[in-house]
Structures are given as structure tokens and as C-alpha cells.
Structure 1
């Protein structure tokens, strides 16, 4: 007598298949697109579509477009009064659940500091002990709080906080 498949196993196989469909070999994370985003004249990243694999994964995880959650911006600078961000990869962490992703889930993305405000886009999420899955999210903070401090070095952006909000998007604009 054969056992019916377990729902958790089916979820893992589904998400692994999604992740395998969008892997690259030149990125620190297989789900983050390395260097393919065109920059605008002011140094901010240009438009970028959310991959269909990420849209499917977010639907499966019941994460709706426009939903948001509180995150720690940079796990290397957890809960410090001033965070210094550099262009390149970033690892953040959910402070609260987002859809079926629990608090503690890591978010992997990319930081751009060249514009008037810091831009952070997330391309994947990973719960502890699970595979990375594709997502599309951005950091948004109102009232200009993602603006670089005036005393920021030229190749970095200093911010006066270590937490922010991540918002799920269907495309990067």
C-alpha cells in the first residue's frame, strides 16, 4: 500500500522546480539577476519585470501585490543606530510574517546608492532550512527616509535606521 504524498513535500518540490527555472551562474544567489538592470541618468535602477516564476511563487505563498512587512535592512548591521549601505548584494530579514513566509525569513536582493535615494530590490526569500524561492519586493519608507545622509561617503549611503518596510510588487519601476 503506497502512502499519499505529504503537502509539505509537494510544496518543496513545487518551489524547487520554480527556483531551478530561474537560476544563473554568475550571481551570489542563483535567483538574483547580476548586473542586468539598466541605470537611469540619476543612478537609480530602471524598470525591470518581475519574473513569472516569482509571480507564481508569491501566489502560491499567498503573498499579494502591495502587501508589506517590517524588515531588518542589513543583517550585518542588525539594530544599529546608523546603517551604511553599499552598492551590491544585501541580506535582510523579515521581522514579521509576510503571507506564508514567517518572521526570520531572509530576503536577498540588491542595493543601489547612486541616486538621491537608496533603492533596494529583493529577488528571493529563504526560510531557515528551506530552499530559496523567487519573489519581487522593494523597500519603501515614506517622508524621504531612504535619502542618503549628507555625510555619506561617495560610494555608500548612510541611513539613520536599521528597519524599514518591504513591499511586494509585480514589477520594478
Structure 2
């Protein structure tokens, strides 16, 4: 099995020239306020193949790097920086995951588009945050544009498309 450094170097060479702008732009919104389907960009699929990350691979994540370890957190619509808590393929704990949060639907939706290893360059990925019972449930009474979550952590799962 190749070393982590060799795998990450291969990914970075394979996706060189990639613009890692906000991959969440242009996402359609469903009538209930949740994001619609979205394909995983080909560069992310390529990077995940090189890293041997397959749909269903999972680990744990602290949802908001700024609210790490709190028992209950408030998240807002918009960008999010999360912290990987365990290994995810070749990605080490403390890797930062960057994505987007939507709070408009019945559950909070978090999609990740980029991973940044502790001493590495950005890597395109496609992943989602979930809890064991499915979605990230909002506590009742959450104000519009934000949501109160019972836990600061969740599972993070690799996907090949956002549904």
C-alpha cells in the first residue's frame, strides 16, 4: 500500500490546475428549503479514486471548528469548516473539511467539497455529514437561516453524488 504522502502527492499532481472555488454555487433549492441533487465534480471523483475513498466510507467529524466539543451548537446557512476526528482513508485526523450548510429543510444538510490535510494542499472531495438515525435534526424553535443541533459532532460519509 502506498504511503499517505505518495497518495496525496499523486492526488495533487492528478488534479493540478483545479480551481477549488465554492462548488456549492448553483445548487437548486427544493420547495422545503433543502438543497437539490448535485453531481460530484469529476476532479473530486478522480481524487477520491486515487485516495481509495469509496461511497459509504466514513469517519467522525466536529461540525464547526469554532464550536468544537460543545454539547449543543448553532449553525448558520453558509460555509462551514469542520475537523475530521478519525482517519478517512489516507486523510488523517485534524484534516479540515470545507463545505456548505443548509438549514431550510426539515434537517440540516452539510455537504463537503474540499479536504485540507494538516500539512497538505486542498483536495477536492464529495462527502456529507449525518447522524446514525439519518439527517441532522434541528431542535424545535431554530430561527430562520440557522439551526440548533443537539450534538457538535456527526458522521462524515463519502458520496459519489449529492442527492
Instruction: Verify same fold: TM over 0.5.
Output: yes
- Distance in 2, matches of 1:98 and 1:10, equals 13
- Distance in 2, matches of 1:34 and 1:171, equals 12
Asked if the contact 2:59–2:85 (Cα under 8 Å) also holds between the matched residues in 1, the reply is yes
- Distance in 1, matches of 2:7 and 2:85, equals 27
Say if 2:45 is the partner of 1:59: no
Q: Mark the structure with the bigger radius of gyration.
A: 1
> What TM-score do you get using the length of structure 2 for normalisation?
0.90
- Distance in 1, matches of 2:16 and 2:99, equals 15
Structure with the larger strand share: 2
- Structure 1 portions without partners, runs of 5+: 1-6, 24-29
Say if 2:123 is the partner of 1:126: no
Q: Residues 46 and 120 of structure 1: is their aligned pair in 2 closer, same or farther, counting only changes over 3 Å?
A: same
- Distance in 2, matches of 1:120 and 1:78, equals 16
Shift of 1:11: 4.4
Asked if the contact 1:90–1:111 (Cα under 8 Å) also holds between the matched residues in 2, the reply is yes
| Structure 2 counterpart of 1:12 | 9
Pick from 143, 149, 161 the counterpart of residue 153 of structure 1.
Answer: 143
| Structure 2 counterpart of 1:110 | 100
Count of residues in Structure 1 that have an aligned counterpart in Structure 2: 160
> What TM-score do you get using the length of structure 1 for normalisation?
0.85
**Runs of 4+ that moved beyond 6 A:** none
| Structure 2 counterpart of 1:95 | 85
Q: How does 1:28-107 map to 2 (within 5 A)?
A: 30-107=20-97
Shift of 1:59: 1.1
